[in-house]
Amino acid sequence: MGSNELVSLAPIDESPSVSTATAARPRGITRRQALAAAVATGVGVGVVRLLGGSMQQISSTSRAASSTDWISPLNSVSARVMHLLRRTTMGYTAQQLETALSDGYDKTVDRLIETTPAEPPAFAAASTPGGRFAITDLQQWWIAHMLTTPTPFAERMTIFWHGHFTSDYRKTANDTFMYWQNLTWRRMAMTDLRSMLMKVTNDPAMLRYLDLATSTGQSPNENYSREVMELFTMGAGNYTEDDVREGAKALAGWTLPPPDATGTVGGRSLPVYTSQKTGVFNPRRAYRGSVTYLGKTGSLDTQGVVDRILAQHATAPFIANKVAQHFVTARPSTAYVTRLGDTFRRSNYDMKTLMHAVFTSPEFTGQSYRALVKSPVEFMVHASRTLGLTSPGKLVAAAGSGMGQSLFDPPDVNGWPNNESWISSNTVVERVNFVTAALAQAKGTLPSPTDAVHKQLDGVLSTQTSNLFNQAAEDRARWFIVLASPEFQLK
Amino acid sequence: MNKEIGINQLKRRDFLRAGLVFGAGASGLAAGYAAVPDAFARAVYAAKREGVANDNILVMIQLAGGNDGLRTLVPIADPALHDLRPRLAGPMVSQALPLNAQYGLNHNLSGVKSLWDKGKVAIVQGVGYPNPTFSHFESIRIWETGDPTRRQVDGWLGRTLATSYDSNGHPLTGCACGATDAPGALRDLQATLTVIQDQKKFGFTGGSEVEAAVGALYKGTPGIYGALFDTAIATATETMATLRTSASSYQPMADYSDKVKLVYSSKNQLAAALQLAAELIVTGTGVKLLHVTLGGFDTHYTELNRHDDLMGYLDSAVSAFYQDLAAHNMAGKVLIATWSEFGRRPKENASGGTDHGAAAPLLLIGDPVQGGLYGEEPSLTGLDGTGNLKYSVDFRSVYQEILAGHLGADSAHILGASFDRVSFLKAPVAV
- Compare all CA atoms of chain A with the CA of B266 and give the residue at the minimum distance: A170
With contacts defined as CB-CB under 8 Å, which chain A residues touch B15?
A: none
pLDDT of amino acid B40? 32
Spell out the residues 6+ positions from residue A102 whose beta carbon is closer than 8 angstroms to its own: none
List the alpha helices (DSSP H) in B179-291: 207-217, 226-249, 270-282
Pairing of strands B289-294, B174-177: parallel
Cβ distance B212 to A325 less than 8 Å, yes or no, reads no
- Compare all CA atoms of chain B with the CA of A332 and give the residue at the minimum distance: B25
With contacts defined as CB-CB under 8 Å, which chain A residues touch B6?
A: 67-68
Q: Which positions 25-44 of B are in contact with A (Cβ < 8 Å)?
A: 25-30, 35-36, 38-39, 43
Per the model's pLDDT, the better-predicted residue between B41 and A449 turns out to be: A449
Cβ distance A65 to B222 less than 8 Å, yes or no, reads yes
Following DSSP, what letter does each residue of A135-165 receive, concatenated? HHHHHHHHHHHHHH-S-HHHHHHHHHHHHHS
For A114-169, how does the pLDDT look when each residue is reduced to its tens digit (9 = 90+)? 999 999 999 999 999 999 999 999 999 999 999 999 999 999 999 999 999 999 99
pLDDT of amino acid A384? 96
C-alpha–C-alpha distance, residues B203 and B241, integer Å? 9
For B299-325, how does the pLDDT look when each residue is reduced to its tens digit (9 = 90+)? 998 888 899 999 999 999 999 999 999
Q: Which positions 283-322 of B are in contact with A (Cβ < 8 Å)?
A: 295, 298, 300-301
Query: Helix crossing, A94-103 with A105-114: angle to 10°?
Result: 110
pLDDT of amino acid B168? 67
**CA distances, A136 to each of A125, A158, A394 (Å):** 12, 18, 8
pLDDT of amino acid A134? 96
Coil, strand, or helix at residue B295?
coil
CA dihedral (B112, B381, B393, B384) positive or negative = positive
C-alpha–C-alpha distance, residues A286 and B208, integer Å? 63
Cβ distance B350 to A220 less than 8 Å, yes or no, reads yes
A423: alpha, beta or left, given left = phi > 0 and alpha = psi -120 to 50?
beta
The proportion of chain A whose per-residue pLDDT surpasses 70, expressed as a percent, equals 86
User: Would you place residue A66 in the very low, low, confident or very high pLDDT band (cuts 50, 70, 90)?
Assistant: very low
Cβ distance B196 to A216 less than 8 Å, yes or no, reads no
- Which residue positions in chain B have pLDDT lower than 70? 1-53, 168, 431
- Compare all CA atoms of chain B with the CA of A29 and give the residue at the minimum distance: B213
Q: Is the pLDDT of residue A20 over 70?
A: no
Torsion of CA B179, B184, B187, B193, to 10 degrees: -20
> What is the rounded end-to-end Cα distance, in angstroms, of chain A?
22
C-alpha–C-alpha distance, residues B42 and B62, integer Å? 27
For B70-100, how does the pLDDT look when each residue is reduced to its tens digit (9 = 90+)? 999 999 999 999 999 999 999 999 999 999 9
C-alpha–C-alpha distance, residues B174 and B159, integer Å? 11
C-alpha–C-alpha distance, residues A229 and A224, integer Å? 9
- Compare all CA atoms of chain B with the CA of A73 and give the residue at the minimum distance: B2
Closest Cα partner for B158 from B28, B278, B64, B288? B288
Which amino acid is residue B423, in one-letter code?
S
Cβ distance A236 to B226 less than 8 Å, yes or no, reads no
Q: How far does A427 lie from chain B, in Å, by closest CA?
A: 6
Question: Is the distance from CB of B291 to CB of B186 less than 8 angstroms?
Answer: yes
Q: Which of A425, A441, A458, A468 to mutate to test the interface with B (most CBs of B within 10 A)?
A: A425
For B388-406, how does the pLDDT look when each residue is reduced to its tens digit (9 = 90+)? 999 999 999 999 999 999 9
Spell out the residues 6+ positions from residue A419 whose beta carbon is closer than 8 angstroms to its own: A325, A330, A372, A373, B225
Q: What ipTM, to 2 d.p.?
A: 0.85
With contacts defined as CB-CB under 8 Å, which chain B residues touch A425?
A: 38, 171, 194-196, 232-233, 235-236, 239
For B188-224, how does the pLDDT look when each residue is reduced to its tens digit (9 = 90+)? 878 878 999 988 889 999 888 899 999 999 999 999 9
- Compare all CA atoms of chain A with the CA of B224 and give the residue at the minimum distance: A69
The proportion of chain B whose per-residue pLDDT surpasses 90, expressed as a percent, equals 72
User: Chain A contact for B64, CB < 8 A?
Assistant: yes
Q: Is the pLDDT of residue A237 over 60?
A: yes
pLDDT of amino acid A60? 29
Nearest to B220 among A63, A235, A404 (CB): A63
Nearest to B27 among A314, A401, A463 (CB): A314
With contacts defined as CB-CB under 8 Å, which chain B residues touch A234?
A: 27
C-alpha–C-alpha distance, residues B118 and B141, integer Å? 34
pLDDT of amino acid B51? 57
Cβ distance B223 to A490 less than 8 Å, yes or no, reads yes
For A315-337, how does the pLDDT look when each residue is reduced to its tens digit (9 = 90+)? 999 999 999 999 999 999 999 99
User: Chain A contact for B171, CB < 8 A?
Assistant: yes
With contacts defined as CB-CB under 8 Å, which chain B residues touch A437?
A: 205
For A276, which DSSP code? -
- Compare all CA atoms of chain B with the CA of A226 and give the residue at the minimum distance: B135
- Compare all CA atoms of chain B with the CA of A399 and give the residue at the minimum distance: B201
Q: Which positions 67-126 of B are in contact with A (Cβ < 8 Å)?
A: none
- Compare all CA atoms of chain A with the CA of B215 and give the residue at the minimum distance: A35
With contacts defined as CB-CB under 8 Å, which chain B residues touch A67?
A: 5-9, 12
Q: Which of A166, A231, A426 to mutate to test the interface with B (most CBs of B within 10 A)?
A: A426
pLDDT of amino acid B431? 58
C-alpha–C-alpha distance, residues A387 and A284, integer Å? 56
For A346-380, how does the pLDDT look when each residue is reduced to its tens digit (9 = 90+)? 999 999 999 999 999 999 999 999 999 999 999 99
Q: Is residue A261 exposed (0-12), middle (13-18) or buried (19+ Cβ within 10 Å)?
A: exposed
pLDDT of amino acid A95? 86
User: Chain A contact for B179, CB < 8 A?
Assistant: yes
Cβ distance A221 to B64 less than 8 Å, yes or no, reads no
Nearest to B29 among A70, A322, A413 (CB): A322
Q: How far does A124 lie from chain B, in Å, by closest CA?
A: 24
C-alpha–C-alpha distance, residues B342 and B243, integer Å? 35
Nearest to B25 among A66, A234, A324 (CB): A324
pLDDT of amino acid B48? 32
C-alpha–C-alpha distance, residues B345 and B416, integer Å? 31
Cβ distance B236 to A412 less than 8 Å, yes or no, reads no
Closest Cα partner for A78 from A105, A52, A56? A105
Q: Which positions 212-251 of B are in contact with A (Cβ < 8 Å)?
A: 212-230, 232-233, 235-236, 239
Nearest to A68 among B25, B218, B222 (CB): B222
Nearest to B220 among A65, A69, A211 (CB): A65
Q: Is the pLDDT of residue A13 over 50?
A: no
Q: How many of the other CB atoms lie within 10 Å of CB of A11?
A: 10
User: Would you place residue A6 in the very low, low, confident or very high pLDDT band (cuts 50, 70, 90)?
Assistant: very low
Length of chain B: 431
Predicted TM-score (pTM) of the model is 0.85
With contacts defined as CB-CB under 8 Å, which chain A residues touch B224?
A: 69, 330, 371
With contacts defined as CB-CB under 8 Å, which chain B residues touch A333?
A: 23, 25
